[in-house]
Amino acid sequence: MAAAANDMFSRKACVVITGASRGLGKSVAKIFASKFPSTSLFILLSRNVSNLDVVKSEILENNPNLTIAVKKFDQGNLDQTIYDTLFDSVFKEYNVTADDFEQSVIVHNAGTLGDNTKYASDLSDVQTVQANFDMNVSGMILLNSQFLKKFSNSSKGRSVVHISSLVAIQPVPSFSLYCTGKAARDMFFRVMAVENPSIRVLNYAPGPCETDMQRACREDTLDRTTRDMFQAMHTEGNTLDCDTSINKLVELLQQDQYDSGAHIDFFDDIGGHIAKAKLDS
Ligand SMILES: NC(=O)c1ccc[n+]([C@@H]2O[C@H](COP(=O)([O-])OP(=O)(O)OC[C@H]3O[C@@H](n4cnc5c(N)ncnc54)[C@H](OP(=O)(O)O)[C@@H]3O)[C@@H](O)[C@H]2O)c1
């Protein structure tokens, strides 16, 4: 399908991607880098800087003029100073300001399963439960606020993409922490979308993609039926390549027809969402 006239990929952007070191985040980084103007600035975040450096080098092979900042960032470390200074330090290092960009984009991709080796009734360890919500919910909210503070000009394009999951809307045995975190993230962004009509917000569920997390789903999941389901998906070849899913995300963003705050799954009929948005408008 053709891109919309205001295709976000045609405008110079500051693009922030969390969990860009591997899996879906790496795929977002590489594919987005090939789409945005080379005058854009990419900020790649995760705990593993060597992996981020590899992603950066791979991108630069094909897009040598792009500016890519890699920054060590642990979303589970809720130290106020880290959040307060993160974007300032990158902007200072690259000698840029928010005004240098036509738009800003953040992709909240970093995520963990929490603990898929236990049922909900056995989650008695304070540290495990707290770490799950620190990383998947609180840290993400705090980073998001810093991003919007940095890019506060509402007349410029601002897009927030949350890499969500089907589990945000479907309960799965052994996945109580993961499901709860994704549901909380989805709702957070739904609220943000109604509070800020000028920000384009998308909760994108990427489908089952071949990553470290997908392997942990089929190897570590306590619930037998759930584990069998993940194993069968893998052996029957029903998991997705990350790039396939992220190309669909690109298509959704290019078409720009989703309701802000919507939850859209890889397997959803994009045409259906466009039709609904038109009916509602
Ligand atoms: N794979 C799937 O089938 C699937 C399906 C639905 C939704 N999703 C969602 O897609 C997103 C990416 O998943 P994935 O499958 O690519 O997972 P993955 O392979 O496990 O990668 C997770 C990413 O998150 C980063 N991360 C983990 N803990 C972090 C922390 N404390 N601070 C900062 N970054 C952290 C990791 O980087 P470092 O280790 O370098 O920090 C890594 O880049 C997640 O939100 C996941 O819930 C995945």
User: How does pLDDT run across 185-243, given as a tens digit for each residue?
Assistant: 999 999 999 999 999 999 999 999 999 999 999 999 999 999 999 999 999 999 999 99
Instruction: Label residue 269 by pLDDT band (50, 70, 90).
Output: confident
In the reported structure, the alpha carbon of residue 242 is separated from the centroid of ligand 1 by a whole-number distance in angstroms of 12
Mean confidence (pLDDT) of the chain: 95
Q: What is the pLDDT of residue 102?
A: 97
Q: What is the pLDDT of residue 279?
A: 38
CA distance 67 to 73: 19
Q: What is the pLDDT of residue 1?
A: 53
User: Which residue, among 92, 94, 88, has the nearest Cα to 39 in the 3D structure?
Assistant: 94
Radius of gyration of the chain (CA): 18
CA distance 136 to 182: 8
Q: What is the pLDDT of residue 123?
A: 98
pLDDT exceeds 50 at position 280:
no
- Tell me the average pLDDT across 125-142: 98
CA distance 197 to 68: 29
The amino acid sitting at 219 is: E
Residue with CA at minimum distance from ligand 1 atom 8: 165
Six-digit token string for 199? 């920000």
145-174 pLDDT tens trace: 999 999 999 999 999 999 999 999 999 999
pLDDT exceeds 70 at position 22:
yes
CA distance 262 to 171: 19
Percent pLDDT > 70 in the chain is 94
pLDDT exceeds 90 at position 278:
no
CA distance 176 to 201: 25
Q: What is the pLDDT of residue 4?
A: 59
Domains of the chain: 8-207+242-280 (3.40.50.720)
Using CB distances shorter than 6 Å, the residues near ligand 1 are 18-19, 21-25, 46-48, 51, 73-76, 109-112, 135, 163, 165, 205-206, 208-209, 211-214
Q: What number of residues does the chain have?
A: 281
pTM summary value: 0.96
Please state the atom number of ligand 1 nearest to the C-alpha of residue 22. 43
pLDDT exceeds 90 at position 260:
yes
Residue with CA at minimum distance from ligand 1 atom 34: 46
72 beta partners: 46
49-97 pLDDT tens trace: 999 999 999 999 999 999 999 999 999 999 999 999 999 999 999 999 9
The helices-and-strands tally (H runs, E runs) of the chain is: 10, 7
Cα 63–Cα 64–Cα 69 angle in degrees, nearest 5? 90
- Tell me the average pLDDT across 11-31: 98
In the reported structure, the alpha carbon of residue 6 is separated from the centroid of ligand 1 by a whole-number distance in angstroms of 30
